[in-house]
Structure 1
Amino acid sequence: MRGILFVLLPFSLLAKSSFITPMEYATSLYKNPRGIGCHKCHGESGEGRVVAKYEHKNEKKSFAGPPINSVSFNDFFISLNVRKNGMPRYFLTQKEIKALYFYLQEKKREDGADVK
């Protein structure tokens, strides 16, 4: 048994620290950070989308998630940590916020948009 441990130990030290890529992690976080995925309100690539249309006091209105794929990291970070109407509070770690921002930037690249 001890011999097997010594044989496998070097391989475990050389193995990557994660079984998923940074993009896979970011995608899973964007799709389901804490129950309600960002894509439900902000679209697959953060482009924003209308979530619901309704009428209030005979006036047609809509509830929409704004575009988030062109904001600076600082504004993105602040938006995730400030309570806003309709935006759930996720209590994300800095690592998770960076991963979400990474996801949005990668999606912009995939979509062919200019990344600042």
Structure 2
Amino acid sequence: MRSVVVLFLPFVLFAKSSFITPLEYSSSLYKNPRGIGCYHCHGEKGEGKLVAKYMHKKEKKSFIGPAINSLSYDKFKKALNTPKQGMPRYYLTKDEIKALYFYLQQMKIDDEK
């Protein structure tokens, strides 16, 4: 089922002719959606990433961007639209959210090859 969705999604997102491919568009959106790229906290392929280690009240802490490449589309969309401490608010359109999800799914498929 996931393969059908991933294969069909580019046609839905890019029904109009475009000068870039769906993967190029979604990749550029992931790397710089509104000034701060998703990859800085979530890793190049959404696998999650240690962002910083710091001390708070003499206690060692870590700020970790969670993995987002295994979320269902509904959970992914909800996570983007639910304010969280440390997560910038991007105000993405429905098509931009679909494109970001498409990118993460493509990265997962590429890793499985």
TM bucket (normalised to shorter chain) is: 0.7 to 0.9
CA distance in structure 2 between the aligned counterparts of 1:39 and 1:86, rounded to whole angstroms: 14
Normalised by the size of structure 1, how large is the TM-score?
A: 0.82
> Which segments of 5 or more consecutive residues in structure 2 lack a partner in the other structure?
1-15
CA distance in structure 2 between the aligned counterparts of 1:89 and 1:47, rounded to whole angstroms: 20
SS, match of residue 67 in structure 1: coil
- Correspondence for 1:36: 36
Normalised by the size of structure 2, how large is the TM-score?
A: 0.84
Q: How far is 1:88 from its partner? A: 0.5
Larger Rg: 1
Report how many aligned residue pairs link the two structures.
98
CA distance in structure 1 between the aligned counterparts of 2:89 and 2:35, rounded to whole angstroms: 11
Q: Which has the higher contact order (CA 8 A, sep 6+)?
A: 2
Cα deviations across residues 12-57 of structure 1 (Å, max 9, x unaligned)? xxxx710000000000000000000000000000000010000111
Runs in 1 of length 4+ with deviation above 2 angstroms? none
> Which segments of 5 or more consecutive residues in structure 1 lack a partner in the other structure?
1-15
Q: Percent identity?
A: 68
